[in-house]
Chain A
Amino acid sequence: MTAAITLGLAAAAAWYVLAPLWRRGTAPARGESAERARLVEERETVLRALGDLAFDRATGKMSDADYDTLRGRYEAAAIDALRRLDALDASHPRTGVAGPAE
């Protein structure tokens, strides 16, 4: 009896685990390309930097001169990242790709 129950459970587990192998049309595990992931991260980093700069200046931690210098640099970096991201998306349109986690 115990052996029959054990065998039954094992068969059920095997069926559950291996079921994806018998499904047709399983979508491949695709995600963002490494290059796109890197560009998205770069964009997020630069946008966060611009937010930090504005906040630190508004709360009196950064001088106007430092703010102007750094803001110019990060704005240029933001535009550069956005342009490269647009260029990548134009050359490789995305299909069914999950968005960033956070």
Chain B
Amino acid sequence: MASLGRFAVLAALVLVLYAIIAAVLGARSRRAEIVATAVRALGGSAALLVAAALVLLVALATRDYTFQYVAAHVDDAQPLVYDLTAFWGGMEGSLLLWALVLAGYTLVAVRAVGRAQPALVSGVVVVLAGVAAFFLLMLAAVASPFATVPFPAADGAGMNPLLLNPWMAIHPPTLYLGYVGLTVPFAIVIAALVSGRAADGGVLLARRWMMWAWYCLSMGLWFGAKWSYVVLGWGGYWAWDPVENAALMPWLVATAFIHSVMIQERREMLSRWNVVLVILAFGLSIFGTFLTRSGVLSSVHSFTQSPLGTLFLVFLAGAMLAAFAIAAWRWDLLRSRNELDAALSRESAFVLNNVLFLAIAFAVFLGTVFPVISEVVTGRRVNVGPPFFDHVVSPIAVGLLLLMGVGPLLAWRRSSPEHLRRNFLAPGAAGVAVGAGLLAAGMRAPGPVLVFALAGFVATTIVLEFAGGVRVRQALRGEPLPRALLGLVARNRRRYGGYIVHFGMLLLLCGLTGSSVFATQRVVTLAPGESGTVGPYRVRYDGLGQTTAHGALVVGARLHIFDGARDDGPLTAARNLYLNGRDSTSDVALRSTPRDDLYITLIGWAADGRATLRLLVNPLVLWMWAGGFVLSVGAIVAMLPEARPRTAPVTVPARVLGTAGQ
């Protein structure tokens, strides 16, 4: 079995190396049949990787402890579903998943590019096969999941208990779909640059792939935050951990690209900027993989220290040098064909939005690598911690929130100040009303008041955008409201899908602000029958219980919750003590409402039955998860292909016909 896996990986490596050589030779000799063999080699490589993945899955499911990887990540007490998710629970398996996802993307991308721009196929094959070759080389020579031992142990070590959770089962693969997905736009852009077509549709062809990768990264970050919240037991969902930051940075750059590529579509401007963003996003995805596998920075998420880190760094440096050298070579071809018509335009807002996104990405990068920089320069490792990120990122994020509201009020190309003033009135008044209402209600923290007021402003602009579009459609077609609304979104999926994404971001930001600024907590030690209070809640402790499950002794504190005078029923906060000596984990007692979350962790207990509990009230957290859901819906709407208009609605006056083309 293991030898079959090793053979499949090795053969896949041979095939992708052949694909690189054949694609280069085919492109140079202009012989399509040679390029076709390269494409087939990639298909063969994908099939072999599927076989390798099946070998590993069977070994995990049957608990074949002759595989070192299985022995390290599975044990007899582990539920079968987590035996299977152990596929990506360790470094070697996660590399195989990476190669497998890349192989799948490669097949789809080569086919799509072949239909749209056949001239780019050979270049796309070379880049995608080049990246695949690196990962397959790692799998074959450095971190094989098919290594075996001659005398297998009777039982395995099992996965880290923190990973035994449904959110962790879907978080890594979703994130990988995003990380690996960034390779495809990178390949398309590099191929377009080499062939001299980057400004002629190459970058635009990359747009849809970038959108997909962005969506997967968004969902991966969302699932990861949810996992952190319900599993780690610290009451938060984001800690500016290096590995979290590693996923956030390419997301920020991809978000900037999704906005700036609209200017390239409309104005044939910013081609250079967009090329740089695509290269950076790919580079940051590899940088994230390096961070997770190098052990250079400590993180709750990272794998153990390994020689892979250095190899990833060398690969990253080589890829970035080559990519920027190619971009520099084609710099002149990427020259903008137009200029801004006016400073007061949506294009200007998008340019500013890009600057802010990149500023956040740079701040996050700096904060993440600062421990390494400080160690190199001063010999002492200095961590900057969450306060640095909060202080630097928060004001820039507020600027982005403001732009999210101002952008839709501006026309493409040129806005007149009087129209902007008029359109600004209703959303501005809504924002002021929200801010004044919060001040009147006693909220005194300026940051949250500003954020919620801006959220009111932005939400109103979004509603007015939908209302304005519906009004125009009703005036033109006389459609009833529901049909006009559906027709509006269906005909302009990217525009209105984008607004739905913005609305999701608003909910997310409100939840984030509420829970990070207004959280309250208490640590109480209670005897059975005693109660502790936190915020509007009273928590009665009814005693301890214990049971066993999946190789763990589960000690649970039985609680009863009262919200004011209302009886909210029982909850249990538990701690899992693993019989094989691994770290204990928490089962959080969580009661979630739109107003707030009551979040209780069992910290400790005594022989006399007293329990120490951490009681935490997190306002508005539910809106964060709701925001993620709305964002997902908006992204799906935006990604659906738009129908091409049957005819262009252009009326050409005779005077223009007489002068055009002269």
B121 in contact (CB, < 8 A)? yes
Map CB proximity to A onto B466-479 as digits: 1 under 8 Å, 0 otherwise.
00110110010000
Cα–Cα distance between A33 and B197 once the two chains are bound (Å) = 10
A94 in contact (CB, < 8 A)? no
Cα–Cα distance between A32 and B31 once the two chains are bound (Å) = 17
B558 in contact (CB, < 8 A)? no
Of the listed stretches B90-98, B199-207, B385-393, name the one at the interface; the rest are far from the partner chain: B199-207
A63 in contact (CB, < 8 A)? yes
Of the listed stretches B369-377, B413-421, B568-576, name the one at the interface; the rest are far from the partner chain: B413-421
A29/B32 in contact, CB under 8 A: yes
Cα–Cα distance between A45 and B648 once the two chains are bound (Å) = 12
B395 in contact (CB, < 8 A)? no
Q: Which positions in A face B, CB cutoff 8 Å?
A: 2, 6, 9-10, 13, 16-21, 23, 26-32, 34, 37-38, 40-42, 44-45, 47-63, 66, 70, 72, 75-76, 78-80, 83-84, 98, 100-102
A63/B652 in contact, CB under 8 A: no
B3 in contact (CB, < 8 A)? yes
B412/A78 in contact, CB under 8 A: no
List, in ascending order, chain B residues with CB within 8 A of A70's CB.
341, 413-414
B650/A78 in contact, CB under 8 A: yes
Residues A79 and B657 in contact in the complex (CB < 8 Å), given A31-B118, A100-B116, A102-B208 = yes
B416/A13 in contact, CB under 8 A: no
List, in ascending order, chain B residues with CB within 8 A of A31's CB.
117-119
B650/A17 in contact, CB under 8 A: no
Cα–Cα distance between A84 and B662 once the two chains are bound (Å) = 12
Cα–Cα distance between A7 and B308 once the two chains are bound (Å) = 32
B41/A17 in contact, CB under 8 A: yes
List, in ascending order, chain B residues with CB within 8 A of A37's CB.
117, 197, 200-201
Map CB proximity to A onto B43-70 as digits: 1 under 8 Å, 0 otherwise.
1100000000000000000000000000
Using a CB-CB cutoff of 8 Å, which residues 202-226 of chain B contact chain A? 204-205, 208
B589 in contact (CB, < 8 A)? no
B36 in contact (CB, < 8 A)? yes
Residues A66 and B118 in contact in the complex (CB < 8 Å), given A17-B40, A100-B201 = no
Of the listed stretches B173-181, B265-273, B445-453, B546-554, name the one at the interface; the rest are far from the partner chain: B265-273
Of all chain A residues, which has the CB nearest B34? A21
B649 in contact (CB, < 8 A)? yes
Contact partner, A52, options B40, B115, B412, B415, Cβ 8 Å:
B412
Cα–Cα distance between A57 and B412 once the two chains are bound (Å) = 10
B197/A34 in contact, CB under 8 A: yes
B660/A29 in contact, CB under 8 A: no
A16/B414 in contact, CB under 8 A: no
B268/A59 in contact, CB under 8 A: no
In this complex, the member of B117, B411, B416, B652 whose beta carbon has the largest number of chain A beta carbons within 10 angstroms is B411
Cα–Cα distance between A79 and B655 once the two chains are bound (Å) = 12
B33 in contact (CB, < 8 A)? yes
**Apart from A59-B469, A101-B201, 9 more pairs, CB < 8 Å:** A28-B31, A29-B122, A48-B265, A56-B412, A60-B422, A66-B411, A70-B414, A75-B656, A102-B116
B315 in contact (CB, < 8 A)? no
B24 to chain A, nearest CB (A): 14
B15/A17 in contact, CB under 8 A: yes
Q: Is the interface of A mostly helix, strand, loop or mixed?
A: helix
List, in ascending order, chain A residues with CB within 8 A of B422's CB.
60
B121/A29 in contact, CB under 8 A: yes
A98 to chain B, nearest CB (A): 5
B652 to chain A, nearest CB (A): 6
B411/A56 in contact, CB under 8 A: yes
A62/B415 in contact, CB under 8 A: yes
Cα–Cα distance between A13 and B205 once the two chains are bound (Å) = 32
B265/A76 in contact, CB under 8 A: no
Map CB proximity to A onto B617-649 as digits: 1 under 8 Å, 0 otherwise.
000000000000000000000000110010011
Q: Which positions in B face A, CB cutoff 8 Å?
A: 3, 7, 11, 15, 18, 30-37, 40-41, 43-44, 112, 114-119, 121-122, 195-197, 199-201, 204-205, 208, 265-268, 341, 409-416, 418-420, 422-423, 465, 468-469, 471-472, 475, 641-642, 645, 648-650, 652-653, 656-657, 659-661
A selection of 27 A-B contacts at a CB cut-off of 8 Å is A13-B44, A17-B37, A20-B37, A21-B34, A21-B37, A29-B32, A31-B117, A31-B119, A34-B119, A34-B197, A38-B200, A45-B266, A49-B266, A49-B412, A52-B411, A59-B465, A59-B472, A61-B415, A61-B420, A70-B341, A70-B414, A72-B656, A75-B656, A78-B650, A79-B657, A79-B660, A80-B660
- Nearest first, the 8 A-B pairs at minimum CB distance are A101-B116, A79-B660, A31-B118, A56-B411, A20-B36, A61-B411, A29-B32, A59-B468
List, in ascending order, chain B residues with CB within 8 A of A26's CB.
32-33, 36
A38 to chain B, nearest CB (A): 4
A20/B33 in contact, CB under 8 A: yes
List, in ascending order, chain A residues with CB within 8 A of B648's CB.
47, 50-51, 78
B540 to chain A, nearest CB (A): 57
List, in ascending order, chain A residues with CB within 8 A of B409's CB.
61
Residues A98 and B116 in contact in the complex (CB < 8 Å), given A54-B649, A61-B409, A61-B419 = yes
B118/A60 in contact, CB under 8 A: no
Of all chain A residues, which has the CB nearest B657? A79
List, in ascending order, chain B residues with CB within 8 A of A21's CB.
33-34, 37
List, in ascending order, chain A residues with CB within 8 A of B410's CB.
61
List, in ascending order, chain B residues with CB within 8 A of A42's CB.
268
List, in ascending order, chain B residues with CB within 8 A of A16's CB.
40, 43-44
B200/A18 in contact, CB under 8 A: no
Of all chain A residues, which has the CB nearest B208? A102
List, in ascending order, chain B residues with CB within 8 A of A10's CB.
11
Contact partner, A51, options B43, B117, B205, B649, Cβ 8 Å:
B649
In this complex, the member of B204, B409, B469 whose beta carbon has the largest number of chain A beta carbons within 10 angstroms is B204
A6/B116 in contact, CB under 8 A: no
Of all chain B residues, which has the CB nearest A6? B7
Of all chain A residues, which has the CB nearest B116? A101
B206 to chain A, nearest CB (A): 11
List, in ascending order, chain A residues with CB within 8 A of B195's CB.
34
Contact partner, B37, options A18, A30, A79, Cβ 8 Å:
A18
A86 to chain B, nearest CB (A): 10
Of all chain A residues, which has the CB nearest B22? A17
A101/B115 in contact, CB under 8 A: yes
A62 to chain B, nearest CB (A): 4
Contact partner, B15, options A13, A19, A53, Cβ 8 Å:
A13
List, in ascending order, chain B residues with CB within 8 A of A45's CB.
265-268
